């Protein structure tokens, strides 16, 4: 197997970035706000500041909308100043009551997190090669908004549970979020499409079969 000349595309086709997804559907209620979620390391390259800037723009455009931003993920001690700076920018913009930091989450807390949100975005500023958090969101029935680079264009082509925006562009991210915040039917459609496709094409049984097929054809 190691002697075979496999192109990158062959590996991408055979080993799509998947994990065993068994999270329940995201649930919604009419009386709660439209909540945007972020679940990843609190690091500059993951795009938390970009998401905060886009959220601020969105709140200014929609001052009467019931919007929330839920942030979760590990933050190393060397990044506390970065985290605090991002959070302070939200407070300075008048969004102090509109966001919540939930810290690092265990498995059950992740399930509850995805149940509590309506949209998901980790707007990385680098070309993310995997993006497993996106699969977790889609498996939970939550539509995603991701930058048009790295693994995300191909991932959303295969698993149509989200929308792409122009990378490192807070206005583009705010525009895309606004389109979905104001369109519940579209959110629901994307959520259902993403969940269905993830369980059809992104579960461990299918991944195992593709691995087996590659070895059979080697």
Sequence spans of domains, the chain? 17-201
Looking at residue 160, its pLDDT comes to 94
Q: Can you tell me the distance from the alpha carbon of 141 to that of 192, in angstroms, rounded to the nearest whole number?
A: 6
* Per-residue confidence in pLDDT tens, the chain, 218 aa: 333 333 344 434 444 444 455 555 555 555 689 999 999 999 999 999 999 999 999 999 999 999 999 999 999 999 999 999 999 999 999 999 999 999 999 999 999 999 999 999 999 999 998 888 999 999 999 999 999 999 999 999 999 999 999 999 999 999 999 999 999 999 999 999 999 998 887 565 565 555 456 456 65
Q: Can you tell me the distance from the alpha carbon of 198 to that of 22, in angstroms, rounded to the nearest whole number?
A: 10
Looking at residue 112, its pLDDT comes to 94
List the CATH code of the domain at 17-201. 3.40.50.2000
**CB atoms < 10 A from the CB of 94, how many?**
12
Looking at residue 5, its pLDDT comes to 38
Looking at residue 206, its pLDDT comes to 60
Looking at residue 200, its pLDDT comes to 82
């Amino acid at each position: 197997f190691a002697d075979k000349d496999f192109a990158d595309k062959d590996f991408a086709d055979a080993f799509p970035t998947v994990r065993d997804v068994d999270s329940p559907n995201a649930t919604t209620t009419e009386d709660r706000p439209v909540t945007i979620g972020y679940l990843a390391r609190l690091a500059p390259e993951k795009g938390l500041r970009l998401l905060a800037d886009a959220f601020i723009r969105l709140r200014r455009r929609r001052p009467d909308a019931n919007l929330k931003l839920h942030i979760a993920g590990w933050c190393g001690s060397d990044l506390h100043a970065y985290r605090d700076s991002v959070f302070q920018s939200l407070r300075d913009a008048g969004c102090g009551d509109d966001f919540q930091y939930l810290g690092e989450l265990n498995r059950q807390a992740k399930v509850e997190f995805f149940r509590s949100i309506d949209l998901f975005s980790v707007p990385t500023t680098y070309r993310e090669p995997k993006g497993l958090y996106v699969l977790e969101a889609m498996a939970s029935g939550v539509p995603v908004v991701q930058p048009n680079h790295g693994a995300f264009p191909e991932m959303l082509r295969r698993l149509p549970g989200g929308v792409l925006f122009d990378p490192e562009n807070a206005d583009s991210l705010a525009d895309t979020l606004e389109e979905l915040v104001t369109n519940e039917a579209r959110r629901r459609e994307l959520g259902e499409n993403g969940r269905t496709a993830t369980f059809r094409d992104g579960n461990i049984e299918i991944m195992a079969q593709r691995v087996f097929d590659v070895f059979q054809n080697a």
